[in-house]
Amino acid sequence: MAASEAPSTVALGRSDTEACLRLSDEAGWNQTADDWRLFLGHGRTVGVRSEDGSLVASAAALPYERFGFVSMVLVTAAWRRRGLATELVGRCVETLTSRGLVPVLDATPAGALVYGRQGFEGLFELDRWQGEASTRAPVSDSEVVPAGPGDFETLRALDREANGTDRGFLLENFLARNDVSAFVDADRTGFAIVRRGRRAMQVGPVAAATPKRALALLSAVLGIVKGPVFADIPRRWNGIAEWLSGRGFTRQRSFTRMAYGHSMPFGRPERLFAAAGPEFG
Ligand SMILES: CC(C)(COP(=O)(O)OP(=O)(O)OC[C@H]1O[C@@H](n2cnc3c(N)ncnc32)[C@H](O)[C@@H]1OP(=O)(O)O)[C@@H](O)C(=O)NCCC(=O)NCCS
């Protein structure tokens, strides 16, 4: 079927959370119902339903400032190569550009094949590191401390500096969840968050002034969780890759940060040590 014959796209809402979760589970992804509710409530999520009404494809546009994130591009196996992803990503691009925002995304290798044709350019690579954490004694590094409610504005400002956009609503949402921990440098120059995902604990975002401080923050978050962990680390950080390898972590997959008609990263990439995840950037 050609793209022009594809079934029409529909706007999705919170009542579609379970159907959306089935799509991300089919792909083996880590997003939870809480993540989907953010896209469905705060962003604009579109999908395609089959004749029997079941959801067969999705994509979401999450507006930040200056740019917005396109993610959750999922097409169930039996409906692939019919132009659905192309159509849905086109809708998300329209949603964001009509608000004056640059569409940005983290592409899987399969996704990059779709987006490259649509005008997205590669900005930098990230690697998903996967490992096992075992809860150890509380952090002894006195330069890293648990973040309290009074640290919220600090975390927000550090995240804004690293990513070049205000994501206060996102951090607020993460920090209000069960199974979330946050640490901050004692001198308030960096922070790290870890939260529960569907398949593994997800480390990120992590922003820091130097790789050394980032390692202290990573150490703190990995010391507080147990079981499988994912961390999406920009590839430029060789030392962090080595450190993770030394702890038994392996590279699970790669992502390319891409922007629509835009070739420069936003923010200060030299302060970004882990993304919030490929769905949020
Ligand atoms: C990636 C994915 C969303 C593509 O969905 P889709 O609806 O099949 O994509 P489209 O039909 O719009 O494909 C458009 C073009 O992209 C390229 N493409 C898409 N999938 C491809 C594949 N598996 N291999 C090679 N090229 C591919 C082709 O050029 C295709 O055009 P063509 O069919 O005319 O040759 C789908 O395979 C999927 O859900 N994969 C698992 C989740 C995932 O990786 N999502 C992307 C996250 S960034």
What pLDDT does residue 134 have? 80
Task: Say how far apart CA 114 and CA 16 lie, in whole Å.
Answer: 25
Give the DSSP H/E element, type plus range, for residue 219.
helix 211-224
What pLDDT does residue 1 have? 44
Q: What are the pLDDT digits (tens) for 222-242?
A: 999 999 999 999 999 999 999
pLDDT > 60? residue 101? yes
Q: Give the residue from 18, 79, 84 showing the smallest Cα distance to 47.
A: 84
Look up residue 13 and give its two tokens.
């809402």
Nearest-atom number in ligand 1 for the CA of 81 is: 11
Task: Say how far apart CA 14 and CA 75 lie, in whole Å.
Answer: 19
What would the mean pLDDT of 259-268 be, rounded to a whole number? 95
Q: Higher pLDDT residue, 16 or 2?
A: 16
What pLDDT does residue 8 have? 84
Ligand 1: centre distance to CA 263 (Å):
23
- Band (pLDDT 50/70/90 cuts) for residue 7 is confident
Look up residue 207 and give its two tokens.
């922003």
Q: Which positions ≥6 away from 269 have C-beta within 8 Å?
A: 124, 162, 234, 236
Nearest-atom number in ligand 1 for the CA of 115 is: 16
Ligand 1: centre distance to CA 74 (Å):
9
What residue ranges line ligand 1, CB within 6 angstroms? 27, 73-75, 80-86, 107-108, 110-111, 113-114
Q: Which positions ≥6 away from 265 have C-beta within 8 Å?
A: 123, 124, 164, 257, 259
For residue 108, the one-letter residue type is T
What pLDDT does residue 3 have? 42
Task: Say how far apart CA 229 and CA 129 lie, in whole Å.
Answer: 8
Ligand 1: centre distance to CA 83 (Å):
8
Q: What are the strands, taking DSSP E only, across the chain?
A: 9-12, 44-49, 55-63, 67-75, 102-107, 120-133, 144-146, 180-185, 191-196, 201-207, 227-234, 250-260, 272-274
pLDDT > 80? residue 252? yes
What pLDDT does residue 195 have? 98
Q: Which positions ≥6 away from 31 have C-beta within 8 Å?
A: 21, 24, 72, 197, 198, 277, 279
High-pLDDT (> 90) share of the chain, %:
92
Task: Write down the mean pLDDT value for the chain.
Answer: 94
Are 224 and 180 spatial neighbours (Cβ–Cβ below 8 Å)?
Answer: no
Task: Say how far apart CA 182 and CA 170 lie, in whole Å.
Answer: 14
pLDDT > 90? residue 136? no
What pLDDT does residue 138 have? 53
What would the mean pLDDT of 87-91 be, rounded to a whole number? 96
What would the mean pLDDT of 255-277 be, rounded to a whole number? 96
What pLDDT does residue 141 have? 65
What would the mean pLDDT of 251-279 be, rounded to a whole number? 96
In the chain, the domains with their CATH numbers are: 9-100 (3.40.630.30), 127-274 (3.40.630.90)
Task: Say how far apart CA 64 and CA 194 lie, in whole Å.
Answer: 21
What pLDDT does residue 2 have? 44
pLDDT > 70? residue 102? yes
Q: What are the pLDDT digits (tens) for 33-85?
A: 999 999 999 999 999 999 999 999 999 999 999 999 999 999 999 999 999 99
Other Cβ atoms within 10 Å of 64 Cβ, number: 23
What would the mean pLDDT of 145-162 be, rounded to a whole number? 97
